[in-house]
Each structure stands twice: as structure tokens, then as C-alpha cells.
Chain A
Amino acid sequence: MSTHISAGQLARYATGTAGPDDADVWGVEIHLESCPDCRAGLAGRLDPGTAALVDRVGGGLAGALGPAPARRRMPARLHRWLAWTLLPRLAVVIGALTAALTLELLMPEFPSPVLLVAPVAPLAGVAAVWSRRTDPAWELITAAPQSGLLLLLRRTVAVLATLVPVLAVAGGIAGASPALWLLPCLATTAATLALGSRLGVPRAAAVVTGTWIAAVAAPAVLTERLPVVLGAGSWPGWAAATVALAALVWFRAGDFHRLASRY
């Protein structure tokens, strides 16, 4: 866009004495087309006769054209995150967390159910954000330039942003350290995305959830002892795993550009 039109030039344009040749007028008009501020300035400099004419024509047009298309109250941005697909899944996860918290409060000596559920809580939502089955416009999205790892990350962040406050409340009531629910949560999410580059995200989410239940949650319930991986000193391990898996995801970014039949 060119620089703004000077007040003098605008006044000359408004009164029809713009300049020696048409080229100056074109320059002014091209700028006016793209600059609301200068248009407002021009409106203030019109002589009364022209202003009355503009008002009359504008008023007539406004009646003939009907109202401008109504904007819906809910912004389209909210739709972008597949909100309607995610809501039921998130509701189920929040229900499961509430149940775990109730169990934790009723049976304080039992290995913390909230800590056992928290790491796999986001995976049900993450599975839905990059799947042929849950996203009806999947083929259109895959063919778009925005498609790829960044779009997947945007959607994953939306899932995490919804669930982390819920986890924070549950963890706070249960008295668990944030390092013990947040870091495992991020690590399993990163593992799902890393594995998803080869298996497809929904299948990867199933594999990670299954592994967690078989290797950590089930033994903890059977032995009634909190596993070592969720012990107080385990957080550096989780942090390192998160960083390593996130780096792996970044490295495999090219795998998310295409539609594979296994998705």
C-alpha cells in the first residue's frame, strides 16, 4: 500500500481540482480503494451538494440490497477445532477423571487413581483430531497446504488446553505434584504423535493407551502400590522423554503431509 494521501491533495481531489493530469487522480483512487482512513477523510471534505447526493444514493442502495449477511454469534474459529467431534470424547474423559478423583478421596491408601488415569486422558481426544473416521472433510484437509504437522499440533494443543485445567483441578484436590501428572501427560501425547507418523494417530493412541494400562496401571492396581515411574523422583525422566519424543515428531513431520490408507 502506498503512503497516505496528504490533506491538501485530498481536498483538491474532493473539489475536483486534483492535479494536472489523470495519473495523479488514479494514484489517489487506487489508494482510496484500499484505505478506510483516507476514505473517511474524503467523506469529511465533500461539498454539501455532493454529500447530499452520496447520502441519497447510499440510502436508496441500502434499502434495495437488504441487510448485510448476519454473522453468527459463534465464531467460525471455534468450529475449526472440530469442536462438535471432540465434545463427546472430552465429556467421557472428564467423567473418567471425576470417577478417579472420587475413588481417590474414598480410598486414600489405594495407589492414586488420578495419577494412573491422567497420562492417558488426552489420548482419546488426540485420536480424533487426525483421523479419517472422525473428520468428514479429511480428504479436503489433507489436500490443503495448511495440512501437516502444524495443523495436527494446533488441534492437539486445543485438546490439551481443554483437559489440562480439568487435570489441574483433579490433581490439586488429590494433592498430586503437577510434575507427576502434567509431564507424563505430555510424554504420552508426544509418543502418540511420534508413533502416529508410522501407524496413524488413532491407532497410535490405542497402542500407547494399551501399553500404559498393561505396563503401569494394571500392575499398580494388582499390587496396590504406586509404580516407580510415577514416584516422586521420576519427573526428570518424564521431561527427558517428552523432549526426545517431541524432537522425533518434528523430525518425522513429512509423514503427516499425505493421506495413508492405514489412517
Chain B
Amino acid sequence: MIRAVPAAELAPTTWAHPVRARGLRVRAGRHLAVDGLDLSLGTGVHGLLGPNGAGKTTLMRALATVVRPAGGQLELLGRPVHERDGDLRTVRRAVGYLPQQFGYYPRFTVREFVEYLAWLKEMPKADIPGAAQRAIERTGLTDRADRRLKTLSGGMLRRAGIAQAIVNDPAVLLLDEPTVGLDPEQRLGFRELLRDVGTDSCVVVSTHLVEDVVAACTEVVLLHAGRLAWQGTPEELAAAGAAGHAGDSPAERGYATLLQQHRAERGTDA
């Protein structure tokens, strides 16, 4: 289905990077999970890699404006979102978010859920049914659209989660562990969707599957202990791998090498 393009979408942007963080610090409970992160992300698909506890999920929550940063600056689409009384509505309308723990209402059908989220995202009432149908089709759930969420399998729920995230055609799409529970064929379809969305918006995918990043992302962001360890293209990641390191593919070896280098540098700092 062809969508009419409103003039607002064609207006030139007034910011260099859709996502820009300077010295960002975010708390997860009492622990400072993101500690002094400097990051600029442009249009494209960005894969967020890092070991468990590196602060990936906490960073995603801060980007989704769910938690307020404890310090530093965070700008989304050129608007500051780190301030206590900042205007979040405008930014939130342009953000799509799939949390790591995707909570849903079991009695809703897929269509009702996606339409409800579209309503929460303040889409014009007349656009909601069409946008929901389009999002459901793009995630391959057309034949399950009127099934209740509690009857769906884990992979289908994940796809319903992706459908609600893309329903408002977000300029910033945040997906936290989107490929969990997807079978290999669905993952291929999902990568296709990522490449499609990433042509004109900023997509951030948090994952620990290096092969997903290499296949679908235009840029890799490596986090370690709440800081930026490395940022580059998947090709550079693969090239960074030393032969002696653990890993079954060049990208995995690159990941291990870069992480070890970063640990060594931090060790000499301390």
C-alpha cells in the first residue's frame, strides 16, 4: 500500500545526528550502568553489541526516554531529553521501542494491541487502522492479526512487538533483543525489514548475536562497562580479528579482540 507523504516528513532536519549522547550516565537501580558514554548515531542500522551487564538495555531505556539520565546530555532528533521538565511528547511520537521484556495484554488481539499502541503514540485516528495493518503485514503476522496475544508463540509475540514499534513509522527505532525466539527463516525476514527501515531512519538494535549485526547492520557499536569501547562498520569489525582469538567467524574474532583491547586499555587507566 502506498502511503501519502506529508510535507513535515520532507522538511530538512535541523540536527546532525538523530541520536547524540555526551558524557551520558544512566542508573539501573543504584548501579550506574551507563557511565560517561559519548555516542553519535546517524541514519542506518546500528548494532549494539557488548557482554552481559555492559549497559545495553539501560542505554536503550534511556534512548526510549523511559528513564531519565543521571547525568550528561542526551539529544534525540535535536531535542534534549535529559532535562527534568523537557518536552518529551514530540520526541516520543517519532520513536518506536521494543523493550527487552515485552509486556503485553494477553486478551488483546494482535490488531487491537498494535492499534492501541498507535493511539498511545498519538497518531491521527483516521490513520490508525491502515498503519496497524501495514505494520502487521511487514512483520508477517497477517494471518494471525485477529488472534489473541496469549495464543501466540514466543517468536510471534516478538514479531507483534516489532509491529507495534514500527506502527508510527518512527524516525528512531529502538529494538532490544528483537531476534530472541525467532527461527532462522524469520530472522532472515527480520533482517530484510531492518535494512528497509534503516534506509531513512535511525535503527538501534541491541543484541548479543554477532552474526545478526554483521548481516543486517550498517554500523557496530561495542559497549563495555557502560562506556563506548569501539564504533565502526561490520567490515572493520571483521578485519580487527586476530587469528589467535576465540570465535568461529571473522566478526566474532573481531568482537573478542576489540573487547580484550578495550579491557587492557581500561586496566592501564585504572
Contact = CB atoms under 8 A, between A and B. Distances in A.
Interface of A: 69-70, 72, 76, 79-80, 84, 135-147, 151, 254, 257-261
Given A139-B61, A140-B164, 4 more contacts: A76-B108, A76-B112, A140-B97, A145-B93
Nearest to B119: A146
A178 to B, nearest CB: 35
B216 to A, nearest CB: 23
B171 to A, nearest CB: 13
A258 B66 contact: yes
A126 B22 CA distance: 39
A122 to B, nearest CB: 23
Contacts of B121: 144-146
Nearest to A142: B66
**Dominant SS at the A interface?**
loop
A185 to B, nearest CB: 28
A145 B27 CA distance: 22
B116 A80 contact: yes
B116 to A, nearest CB: 6
B66 A143 contact: yes
Interface string B99-136: 10111111111011001110111100000000000000
Interface residues of B, number: 40
B65 A140 contact: no
Interface stretch (B5-13, B48-56, B84-92, B248-256): B84-92
A144 B114 CA distance: 13
A141 B115 contact: no
B109 A143 contact: no
A79 B88 contact: no
A137 B85 contact: no
Contacts of B99: 139-140, 143
A211 to B, nearest CB: 28
Nearest to A136: B103
Contact of B105 (A69, A72, A137, A145): A137
A140 B85 contact: no
A144 B112 contact: no
B29 interface: yes
A79 B105 contact: yes
22 contacts: A69-B111, A69-B145, A69-B146, A70-B146, A72-B112, A84-B105, A137-B104, A137-B105, A138-B103, A140-B164, A143-B64, A143-B65, A143-B66, A143-B99, A145-B90, A145-B93, A145-B122, A146-B122, A254-B85, A257-B65, A258-B66, A259-B67
B79 interface: no
A200 to B, nearest CB: 14
Contacts of B89: 145
Contacts of B104: 136-137
B17 interface: no
Contacts of A257: 65, 88
B212 to A, nearest CB: 22
Contacts of A137: 103-105
B68 interface: yes
A48 to B, nearest CB: 32
B107 A84 contact: yes
The 5 A-B pairs of least Cβ separation, nearest first, read: A136-B103, A144-B120, A145-B92, A145-B89, A139-B99
B67 A140 contact: no
Nearest to B97: A143
Nearest to B133: A69
Contacts of B61: 139, 259
Nearest to A138: B103
Interface string B3-46: 00000000000000000000000011100000000000000000
B101 A139 contact: yes
A84 B104 CA distance: 13
Nearest to A151: B120
Contacts of A135: 103
B65 to A, nearest CB: 6
B95 interface: yes
